[in-house]
Amino acid sequence: MDRSTQIALGVLGLLACFPLVVENDYYLHLLILAFMWVVIGTAWNLIAGYTGQVSFGDAAFFGMGAYTAGLLEYHMGISAWWGVPLAGVTATLLALPFGWICFRLRGAYFALATLALNEVMRHTATIWEDFTDGMVGIMILQTFESKLPYYYIVLGLAVVTIVIIELVMKSKWGYYFLSIREDQDTAESIGINTTTYKMISLTIAAALTGIAGGFYMNYMGFIDPEVVFSLHDISIMAILVGIVGGVGTVYGPAVGAFVMVVVQELFRTGGFGVVTSLAESSGSEILTTFALYMTKAHVLGFGILVVVVIRYLPNGIVGDWDRITALWRRGQQS
Amino acid sequence: MDLFLQTLIAGLLKGGLYALIGTGMTLIMGVMGIINLAHGQLMMVAMYLTYSAYALLGLDPYLSLFISMPVIFILGMLIQKYLLNPLVHTETILPENQVLMTVGIGMVLTEVMRFIFTSDYKSVKTAYSNATYFIGEISFSVPLMINFLIAIGVTLLLFWFLIKTDMGRSIRATAQDKEAAALMGVNPERTTYITFGLGAALVAAAGTLLVPIFYLYPDIGGPFTRRAFVICILGGLGSTVGAIFGGVTLGLVEAFAATYIAMEFEEMAGLVIFIMVLLFLPGGFKRLTGV
């Protein structure tokens, strides 16, 4: 067992005990979201980080999963929990024809095609009002009042996702994925059917993302096209989770998920209420406007984060860990 | 028949503007090989510049071309110099770092504009905004006609620049073969700044031209970025002539979808065309005509 696995197991143990020690719905909610992002980010990392096919449209699969679960209960009265595994199937059904059409494109052009898929899905969900209720969205009753069951379900999903990715990347498929990322032409010339393996990678990623979407429907109880097919809040967030943590590393997206959920919350709550309360107590007008702006600025924060991370930490926290620690040590010596 | 002709004209006139947007994107794509996903957002900034010039100085939107184009040109050069070029030298796993960077830039531009102007819809109403004249039963909107003519003028200027000037030749040479161009004495760094600036200035022109006939809000960039890449795929990546074809085609497709199917399908139609082109004509017009 290497060191990163030991750390991961230790963290997992702590997280499993966390709700027993801290009974605070707010922290549980944040952790539930973080775990959900671990699933989505890890799935994105498989197709983008390991296989080198950057997807800008994860929301298409996420939304597909969420709508599968929601519509199942809404139209047929079947519990939305059945929608979670089914979401994996429908997301796969979406990924297969899409991959078949779009894997003739390379690099950035594939990325654009995924962006187009994202938009097509969003427009479809909005326009097809008879089936999806359009902008009104879908509301279902949540099964559990307590957050605890959700916490353990999504923690389980996150662990299963990471294990699946580990196993896949250690198998023959994993090496094929890496070879496609490094050099598609060479991979093709030594007899790897690149289209097939890109499809496999996309399918696994889409199924996992869809399952995360199905879970989101069950947990939040409400979805509409603007939320689940959102380019900024889902697709870009998935990319950020991946690159902040570190693309092409097993635990990178998991680290990224926690960082991003904290950053998102930091903006949404005005520095966890610190800036707001400072503004109130000091009565300073500048701070008050600043706090007001901050709560609205999470997209701006994301944008700046994209620019800064790509510019200075191109391999993410996990991928550039050696560089970060080296800088830290140098800083301490001088 | 009148409805058909009316739709055809509306599509063509809109297509002229789209061609301008697409040409800017395709220039950047041809020289740097990246897709600029901040393209529509640069256009949005140009629209707000035009709006401010009108609101503060009372400047006619068409005169704002002389403000918005140079300002966005410089903004584009700075983006290329300080944010995109340094990425070429960093070692990373992801090959699409530069494209991701443009996404981040687009988000920052949108949100900064939202801070300054809020999310409210703004519009500039000029004396000629709603002016139309009729030939038979078919109406021609005056500002759309002016836009179309200016778009053609700007495009012709661009072609003159690309074909006749030294800088234009350098840009075309770099697009064809970066290393060979560098060996012939073209400064590749400088060429990339100018190209990005030029692409940005073109889309800024389109943005300024849209102001008298359209409303503006910070999120307007996204849909136009998507249109720009649909145009480029239609026209063939990196082909300026293709982008003009692509722009006019998209304008027509959107107009016909909006008239004959439903308003909501305007944007969907472009995306469907995008997938059809990928399926049946990968390479776009460029493959058909070779230019």
Which of B99, B271, B275 has its CB closest to that of A101? B275
Q: Which of residues 230-289 of B touch A (CB under 8 A)?
A: 230, 233, 237, 264-265, 267-268, 271-272, 274-275, 278-279, 282
A57-73 average pLDDT score: 92
Chain B residue numbers touching A127 (CB-CB < 8 A):
264-265, 268
Chain B residue numbers touching A56 (CB-CB < 8 A):
103
**How many other β-carbons are positioned within 10 Å of the β-carbon of residue A164?**
16
Predicted model pTM? 0.85
For residue B69, name the pLDDT band (cuts at 50, 70, 90): very high
Smallest Cα distance from B91 to chain A, Å:
8
Give the type of residue at B175.
A
Cβ pairs A/B, distance under 8 A? 126
B183-209 average pLDDT score: 90
Long-range contacts of B123-131 (CB under 8 A, 24+ apart): B123/B214, B123/B215, B123/B216, B124/B50, B124/B51, B124/B54, B124/B55, B124/B61, B124/B211, B124/B212, B126/B60, B126/B61, B126/B212, B128/B212, B129/B212, B129/B213
Residue-wise pLDDT tens digits, A12-32: 888 888 888 877 888 888 999
Does the pLDDT value for residue A289 go beyond 80?
A: no
CB contact under 8 A, B107 and A306: yes
pLDDT at A272: 66
Query: Could you tell me how many helices (H) and strands (E) chain A has, helices first?
Result: 18, 2
Which of A101, A297, A314 has its CB closest to that of B278? A101
Residue B28, φ and ψ in degrees, nearest 5: -60, -40
Residue-wise pLDDT tens digits, B213-244: 888 898 888 889 888 888 988 888 778 888 89
Residue-wise pLDDT tens digits, B279-291: 777 777 777 766 5
Chain A residue numbers touching B99 (CB-CB < 8 A):
54, 108, 111
Tokens of A6: 């030991």
Q: Quick one: what percent of chain B has pLDDT higher than 70?
A: 98
A199-206 average pLDDT score: 94
Burial class, B265, CB count within 10 angstroms (exposed 0-12 / middle 13-18 / buried 19+): middle
Smallest Cα distance from A237 to chain B, Å:
11
B88-101 average pLDDT score: 76
Interface confidence (ipTM) of the complex: 0.79
Q: State how far the alpha carbon of B272 is from the alpha carbons of A219, B9, B187, B254, in Å.
A: 33, 22, 40, 11
Q: Chain A residue closest to B268 (CA)?
A: A120
pLDDT at A1: 66
Q: Chain A residue closest to B222 (CA)?
A: A231
CB contact under 8 A, A116 and B275: yes
